[in-house]
Amino acid sequence: MTDNKRVKSEREVILSLDLDTRRTKSNGLFPLKIRLYSVATKKNKYYGTGYDMNTETYKKVFETVRPRKEEKALREEIQSLLLDYKRVAESIEDFTFDKFEETLFKPKGDVLDVFYQYELKIQELEEKNKLGTKESYLFSLKSIQRFLKATKNRVPKQLYFSEITPRFLEKYESWMISNGKSRSSVGIYLRPLRHIFNKANPSNYPFGKDGYTIPKGRNKKKAINKEGLKKLFESNPQNDFQQKAKDFWFFSYVCKGMNMKDIIYLKWKQVNRNHLEFIREKTKDTSDSQLIIRVPLSDFSKKVIKKYGGRQKGQEDYVFPVLNHQMNEEEKFKAKQNFTRLVNQHMKRFAKHAGFEEDISTYWARHSFATMAIRKNASIEYVGESLGHSDIKTTKAYIDSILDEKSDQKLIDGMMDFD
């Protein structure tokens, strides 16, 4: 190979190495990627290599005529990977990126290894910058590995689909609950595993009607009634942190249950004089038609924007300066987590100060909007569209009992009043 960082296939597909210096990873290094260029379509696509390095190491490995033994070995490893990609590209008739990826990401090891399938999915999510979902799969994988270590005194190198039976999943659920996890938590950890099964499509399938059913758990009440909302809104925070948490909590509530991620990703181009429009960040990357949510601005929401909005007001600038364009996706993800955690911590303290026993979080604002809207005679379809739900069943799960205890009692007492 005359160029240490570039190869060209016979099918006019050029592959080269690219150190992505646009973002620094948490380890302080840059990700090394393979750039694949299609001469026919004149388009590029990038693929992670699993290697991270700084610019100095990159030059030592690829630009030094006589690298040291360590750099030479690293160069050979990466060149071997580059040649593997080249061989895959050359094997494809009528080259397309889809065909290339389908061939490339076909498991090289045992197709029935659950751990390997998890690794592929986690890598895919990282490359798509779906860091929240990636975390969910990591937590699911680590939980299963802890279960195996607890029950078998070791974590095997491979876990075959055939080993995961309804009995296996029942034992996992019992182990989770015995370690203080709720049935809802069991469901959260097992849904990624079910997705892995659906994607790999092995001969055995332990979930469903004739197998193991993932528990849904009973959702704890997360909606505050009208009297509670009035009490919360009229209570005075103890400090500026609690005031900020209260302001953003009620901003979420009055903006149709807008969650914290959508709030901090809001840009000035989405805010008009009397309303704002946005697409949920959670659904932006889906292939389905995007639902634009329109939110009329109230006097309260306008005050929050004026109070906390940033000074930079270009069309692409973020309304609330929690994020900035110098951040990479990982930094934005961490900033979102930190901001949500800050609001939740101080909202919880403020609610306790206001006389609430429950741990009030930002999630309660979303549920409270849904429940209050229904109580004010909004249709469930309207609430579903406001929350950005594509399935009405999801909306129904959000809505708590519409009748409070007094109204419920009044209704039952009136059932025998036939006048």
Give the separation between CA 298 and CA 251, rounded to whole angstroms. 10
Domain 226-406: homologous superfamily in CATH: Intergrase catalytic core (1.10.443.10)
What's the whole-model pTM score?
0.62
Q: Which two tokens stand for residue 103?
A: 């061939």
Residue boundaries of the structural domains of the chain: 6-104, 114-200, 226-406
Return all residues near 392 (Cβ < 8 A) that are at least 6 apart.
Answer: 380, 381, 384
Q: Which two tokens stand for residue 311?
A: 């000074």
* pLDDT classification of 348: cutoffs 50, 70, 90: very high
Give the separation between CA 29 and CA 79, rounded to whole angstroms. 20
pLDDT over 70 (residue 302): yes
Question: Quick check: 353 and 238 in contact, CB under 8 A?
Answer: yes
Helix, strand, coil percentages in the chain from 3-state DSSP, rounded to 5: 50, 10, 35
Written as one string, the DSSP assignment of 81-137 is: HHHHHHHHHHT-SS--HHHHHHHHTS-SS-TTBHHHHHHHHHHHHHHTT-HHHHHHH
**What's the Rg (C-alpha) of the chain?**
26
Tens digits of per-residue pLDDT, 109-154? 566 789 999 999 999 898 888 888 999 999 999 999 999 999 888 8
Residue with tokens 């080269």: 16
Number of Cβ within 10 Å of residue 350's Cβ equals: 24
Tens digits of per-residue pLDDT, 229-273? 999 999 999 999 999 999 999 999 999 999 999 999 999 999 998
Query: Of 17-26, 143-152, 372-381, 403-412, which gets the smallest average pLDDT?
Result: 403-412
Give the separation between CA 123 and CA 336, rounded to whole angstroms. 22
Q: What is the mean pLDDT of residues 79-90?
A: 83
Q: In what order do the strands lie in the sheet with 6-8?
A: 6-8, 13-19, 30-38, 43-53
